[in-house]
């Protein structure tokens, strides 16, 4: 996908697709990684 001008000006922001609702959202990669860790921890806790 070609990056638009604002994406080049704000390189820390990425477009991600939410696994739960399917919506596309803008977030930093750090926020996405933190959310994935939180989700994985919750998933492992509920499986016990």
User: Can you give the residue ranges of every domain in the chain?
Assistant: 5-47
| Structure tokens belonging to residue 18 | 């939410």
Give the pLDDT mean for 8-37.
87
Which stretches does DSSP call E strand in the chain?
13-17, 24-28
For residues 7 and 1, the answer to whether their CB atoms sit within 8 Å is no
φ, ψ of residue 14 in degrees (nearest 5): -130, 155
Residue 30: its pLDDT value, please? 92
Residue 47: its pLDDT value, please? 62
Residues 6+ apart with CB under 8 A from 27: 13, 14, 16
Rounded CA gap, 5 and 23, in Å? 22
Whole-structure pTM value: 0.55
**pLDDT tens-digit readout, 1-20:** 566 777 778 888 888 888 77
Residue 3: its pLDDT value, please? 66
């Amino acid at each position: 996908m070609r990056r638009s001008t604002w994406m080049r000006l704000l390189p820390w922001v990425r477009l991600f697709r939410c696994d739960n609702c399917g919506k596309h959202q803008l977030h930093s990669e750090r926020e996405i990684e933190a959310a994935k860790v939180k989700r994985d921890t919750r998933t492992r806790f509920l499986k016990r």
